[in-house]
Amino acid sequence: MARDKAMSVLMCGTFEPNFGRNRQLLRLMESRNITVNVKNYSLWSTNKVADVRHGKIQRVLRGIAVYGQIIVALLGQTLNPQRRPSVVLVPHPCQFDAVVVGAICRIVRVPMVIDYFVSLHETVVDDRNIVSSTSLTAKVLRSVDALSVKLATLILADTPQDVEAFAKETSTPPSKWRTVWVGADTDIYKPTLAASSPEKVVLFYGTYIPLQGIDFIVRASLLLPKEYRVRLIGEGQERPRIEKIIRELNAPIELLDSVSETDLPAEIAQASVCLGIFGTGAKSSRVIPNKVFQCMAMGKAVITADTPAIRNHLGSAVATVPAGDPQALANAIVALLEDDARLHELETGSRKLFLEKFDDNKIAPLLIEALQAASGKVPVSKEAPLTAMAHLRLPLVQRALLLLQPKSILEVGIGQGAFATRLAQWGQYVGVEPDPASGAVAAARLAHFPHAEFRSGGLEQIQPYETFDLVCAFEVLEHIEDDIEALRSWAEHINEFGSLIVSFPAHQKRFGAADIAVGHHRRYDRKDVKKLLDAAELEEVSVYPYGAIGGHMLEFVRNALLRQRSGKVASMSSATSASGRLFQPNTPLVGKLISVVASPMKLLQRPFLHTSVGVGWVVVARRKRGTL
């Protein structure tokens, strides 16, 4: 295969090169003949838990020296046209590295992809309980998690469930994330014929971290027939605690230290059944651990906890039990090892599914697409520039999106689609727009969003049976004479647990020349909002004003510009159609300039969010319970 000279990757950071996930990313890139330059600098010891707990001053001093080296190496690569990479990839653990590398990448204008893999805050605070959730360390870790994601062009995670959770945790749209499964190295993990043995061996191997739920395996061993052998292989944070439980319960467990990856396949091959993870935490419910993929690659039967990630992506290829239930685990082990037909079915099914979905040949395209999208070598979904007033609404809409986490969205009256390009990042999106000129622009802007659909026309383009997690309409309601009926018709497309976000101009006393020129029937006082929602059988979730000070200045200018035009409006419908094209930035440069101008205005409006001061309202509502 010819080497793709157009794509080169600089793999840079303090990562452990022999860590399975990092070897996988390198293996996948090299399998597609991508040029990869590895720059690795040692910061952490093999015991990262000890690094976090002890020697913090030494670690900081060491970090300053290491990150100085990284900055020098990164500048040397990115400022040299002959060596400049298409993408900088920061592997796990990426967050601290990404803050430094991401800042440099922003300066030298090179895209950065990070492999988020785990949340620092969740791992250190929630999963391993190393520090308190109220500690300064916990706050720093949460901030570093969020900043690393903000600086990245695209972010990798290992399951869709992790993508959803991490996107919510870091306040980023899911479209900025890509799933790249952990998989397994099939040069190492492949079907192996073990020597025939009458023993029934139940195998678990791992790094003894809390999410694995090893204590439940120990307790399950007490409920198994005496001839079964339960074997635990590995070392790690939880090993001393597990050994103590084994001693106290006198559990029939065979404990072995870690074995090399070269020897591990032989241990797996000798096992009658292999165990996944059984922890009850949130993290356990989202991941598919490396060991499960490895055992599937070898064609072994696997029993693991029944979690959303396992259920949605592995289905019946593995046996599942409730998390944290030793009795259920023991019952499943016995049932499987006493049923040769079922055991054989799982062995062949797991191998088959692995080859169909999780082999390197299936995973590599996922990684390559992410790298190409970040580098600009394939069309990517871009946010269209906003008007200054839309910039003032945006923070309030984004806040609502982060709280609601919609998977499906309907937007009514999308104009030229500037807001649509932001909403379409959250899930399945449908937008309708009756003005053909504005609609043509919107359709072109949404073309690169794979889950977005544009429909020319009004609400009649939405079938009666179509319902959504979120229905939106921004600066639309004031153009409609019967606003209550319009709101009711929109609400009919909200699903049972869905919501509505609308925005419209505030304070009828501010009705002026600009309102007439763009076809407004009215503006809304705060008391009108409640009456409107009650009439449409909706209940208020939140109402915030936008545009304090900055919006007032913009309206003053807009009224002055449109005063003459207001007396020449042919009809309300024509004015409404034209309003979607008015003051729209038509080039990226103009959009950037407007963004710069709007930035201080967004800051100025913050102190007034809990008042009625502003030029418009952003309203979040939902159906009154029992009205669906």
199-227 confidence digits (pLDDT tens): 899 999 999 988 899 999 999 999 999 99
How high is the pLDDT of residue 3? 43
To the question of domain 200-358 being in CATH 3.90.25.10, the answer is: no
pLDDT beyond 80 at 577: no
- Which class for 558: exposed (0-12), middle (13-18), buried (19 or more C-beta within 10 A)? buried
pLDDT beyond 80 at 359: yes
pLDDT beyond 60 at 49: no
Beta sheet of 302-305, edge-to-edge order: 253-256, 228-234, 200-206, 273-275, 302-305, 319-321
Summarize the confidence of residues 534-545 as an average pLDDT. 93
pLDDT beyond 50 at 519: yes
Alpha-carbon gap, residue 174 to 532, rounded angstroms: 33
| Residue 157, helix vs strand vs coil | strand
Summarize the confidence of residues 381-401 as an average pLDDT. 90
158: Cβ contacts below 8 Å, ≥ 6 apart: 21, 117, 179, 180, 181, 182, 287, 288
410-463 confidence digits (pLDDT tens): 999 999 999 999 999 888 999 999 999 999 999 999 988 888 999 999 999 999
Q: Nearest-CA neighbor of 163 among 309, 367, 51?
A: 309
What are the phi and psi torsion angles at 498 (to 5°)? -85, 180
pLDDT beyond 70 at 368: yes
530: Cβ contacts below 8 Å, ≥ 6 apart: 540
How high is the pLDDT of residue 74? 92
Give me the CATH topology for the region 388-623. Rossmann fold (3.40.50)
Q: Could you give the angle at which helices 326-337 and 214-221 cross, rounded to 10 degrees?
A: 60
Q: What is the domain partition of the chain in residue ranges?
A: 4-179, 200-358, 388-623
What's the mean pLDDT when you consider all of the chain? 88
597-619 confidence digits (pLDDT tens): 999 999 999 999 999 999 999 99
How high is the pLDDT of residue 572? 59
pLDDT beyond 60 at 626: no
How high is the pLDDT of residue 4? 42
The two structure tokens encoding residue 357: 């979905």
In the numeric block, the tokens 């809409």 are attached to: 397
pLDDT beyond 60 at 475: yes
How high is the pLDDT of residue 2? 40
Domains 4-179 and 200-358 share a fold: yes
Beta sheet of 112-115, edge-to-edge order: 34-40, 4-13, 87-90, 112-115, 154-157, 177-179
Alpha-carbon gap, residue 119 to 124, rounded angstroms: 8
Summarize the confidence of residues 153-166 as an average pLDDT. 91
How high is the pLDDT of residue 554? 93
How high is the pLDDT of residue 563? 74
DSSP alpha helix (H) spans, 536-623? 550-562, 572-579, 588-605
Alpha-carbon gap, residue 444 to 584, rounded angstroms: 15
Q: Nearest-CA neighbor of 410 among 482, 491, 520?
A: 491
Summarize the confidence of residues 540-548 as an average pLDDT. 95
DSSP alpha helix (H) spans, 170-307? 214-221, 239-249, 264-270, 282-286, 290-297
Residue 179 · residue 160 · CB < 8 Å: yes
Give me the CATH topology for the region 4-179. Rossmann fold (3.40.50)
Residue 153 · residue 374 · CB < 8 Å: yes
How high is the pLDDT of residue 381? 62
Beta sheet of 408-412, edge-to-edge order: 452-456, 428-433, 408-412, 468-474, 494-505, 616-623, 538-546
250-308 confidence digits (pLDDT tens): 999 999 999 999 999 999 999 999 999 999 888 889 999 999 999 999 999 999 999 99
Q: Could you give the angle at which helices 326-337 and 340-353 cross, rounded to 10 degrees?
A: 100
Q: How far is CA 273 from CA 37, 402, 537, in A?
A: 40, 42, 56
